[in-house]
Structure 1
Amino acid sequence: MVAIAFEDRVEVFALGHKTNVHVAGSGRPVILLHGSGPGVSAWSNWAGLIGELAENYKVYAPDIAGFGYTELKDGTKYDIKFWVQHLVAVMDALEIEKAVLVGNSFGGALSIAMALSQADRVEKIMLMGTPCGEFQISDGLYAGLTYEPSLENMRKLVENFPYDKGIITDAMVEARYEASIREGAHEAFRKLMPPPEEGRDTIVKGFPQKYLTGIKCEALVVHGREDRVVPPECGRRIFEAIPRAELHMFGQCGHWVQLERSQQFKKLLSDFLAA
């Protein structure tokens, strides 16, 4: 396995933002796109996968603008259109002409947006726990959007993610908590993801299912049947809409498929990349 540490990263200037990107390996480019939430970053989502993937591929794991160690700038409107432009700028800066995108939750939504609007830059997409259509805000999303920094609150938050809470360790909670209290981190998150005004009655809106019929590339859709963050129905909607899609639904699995079913996930991804 290729050894990769947190320090194995580069900083590129993309769409006016100093952007943190973890880079490893060589060969065909694969871009790993993280989810959202307090303390999230490319490293927190993908540290356990980068080294293994880098044995056969050139792996890039960027912090999307406003998250992790990438800048968030006052006066900038952050939305899916901006994040698409930012990712394209990152690819340009790193001289990536076309790549496979592996998107986790929010990163899956960004992958969909890229496949729709930047089809010539996208080879394939793998979507994990990705929102689609409309649904009432889940307990997991509500906990993230209303999070106030403390170890206790972080533990309550991450307990929404896996089916089996026994996989949660003190180290896992502490690492994400420490990331959430880095100087300016919580304020930045609040600007990006303010608490819902209508509380638990808030309706979350992902890409409408009808738009996804326009995606031409291959798509592998992965979802946990007991996902308490993004309802599994979203995975089914995506599968039904994208013409060249496959769906793998994991039973007794929540939102952290890459952690809860790590070996099966890696095998699915490996086969998808090899096909």
Structure 2
Amino acid sequence: MNFVLKEENGFSYIDEGEGEVLLLLHGLMGALSNWEKVVEEFSKEYRVIIPILPVYDLPLLTTGVKTLTKYVHKFVRYKKLKNVTLLGNSLGGHVALIYTLAHPTVVKALVLTGSSGLYENAFGGSFPKRGSYDFVKEKVEYTFYDPATATKELVDDVFRIINDRHSVIRILAMAKSAIRHNMKDDLHKITIPVSLIWGRDDKITPPEVAVEFNEELPNSELHWIDKCGHAAMMEQPEEFNKLLKQFLDKIKE
């Protein structure tokens, strides 16, 4: 990525372009690079901001989706952001949902892809084995429809994270927090426009999760991307960007 990482007031983030704000939230073991093609495409017309979520830096006792949501709120207040369109993948989608419920006047619209909040099959249903590179490679590949999307760089990053005891304890705490914090009973309260852009071959948050989100969110639309797993904006960026543009054009004031 050729974008400048800014460090200010305890926040690390990318802030590219000008215009209405697209605030992008990455997943549990996601990174800023996950959104690279979205930033490249939409920073021509929008102000695209991606904060690094402090998944591995929170005190263990407070590691959870609510604490991440409070962090996002502090960031939004610090940057004085308004009329934001929130985009979230995986855990980032979950945080976006909680944030929208807590601060409805700030969020104009939501885009969710492979979002947790109802059900997720983390690590393909098994504990992350430390030390086994092949196991980690297999689990990163499981995230995608095409295993080739799991580049060596991506596998190396995840391998490094889960072989750090400090990080892996927080990953497990965060995953448990996400499972506990089920959104089903609250989704009907979110009445802003929501676009669900989902990989038809997502094994982490499978298609029935997207269907349930669509049923429970009163102002939502559901779009499928074929031959695509859990991170549509990485695996099928052109199709993802096309669907995102259609939604953003529709909600323009």
Question: TM-score category by the smaller chain?
Answer: 0.7 to 0.9
Contact 1:146 1:195 in 2 (8 A): no
Deviating 4+ runs (over 3 angstroms)? 73-76, 139-143, 203-206
Q: Are residues 150 and 24 of structure 1, via their aligned partners in 2, closer, same or farther at CA, if it must alter by over 3 Å? A: farther
Match among 95, 100, 122 for residue 85 of structure 2: 100
Contact 2:128 2:136 in 1 (8 A): no
Q: Are residues 23 and 204 of structure 1, via their aligned partners in 2, closer, same or farther at CA, if it must alter by over 3 Å? A: same
Q: Which has the higher helix share?
A: 2
Cα deviation per residue 1:100-157 (whole Å; 9 max; x = unaligned)? 00100111111111111110111100000112435xx6363435x5142554333212
* 1:247-266 equivalence runs, <5 A: 247-266=222-241
2:62 is paired with a residue of what secondary structure?
Answer: coil
* 1:170-185 equivalence runs, <5 A: 172-178=151-157, 180-181=159-160
Q: Are residues 98 and 262 of structure 1, via their aligned partners in 2, closer, same or farther at CA, if it must alter by over 3 Å? A: same
Contact 1:154 1:173 in 2 (8 A): no
Look up the match of 2:130: 148
Within 2, Cα distance between the matches of 1:185 and 1:116? 35
Matched to 2:54, the amino acid is A
Cα distance, 1:91 vs structure 2: 1.0
Count matched residues.
248
Q: Mark the runs of 5 or more structure 2 residues left unpaired by the alignment.
A: none
Cα deviation per residue 1:250-271 (whole Å; 9 max; x = unaligned)? 2332112112321111011111
TM-score (norm 2): 0.87
1:227 is paired with a residue of what secondary structure?
Answer: coil
Contact 2:22 2:48 in 1 (8 A): yes
Within 2, Cα distance between the matches of 1:102 and 1:195? 23
Within 1, Cα distance between the matches of 2:122 and 2:61? 29
Matched to 1:104, the amino acid is N
Cα distance, 1:55 vs structure 2: 0.5
2:41 is paired with a residue of what secondary structure?
Answer: helix
- Provide the aligned C-alpha RMSD in A: 2.7
Contact 2:55 2:68 in 1 (8 A): no
1:30 aligns with 2:10: no
Within 1, Cα distance between the matches of 2:2 and 2:133? 25
Identity of aligned residues (%): 22
Look up the match of 2:140: 158
Matched to 1:32, the amino acid is L
Contact 2:141 2:149 in 1 (8 A): no
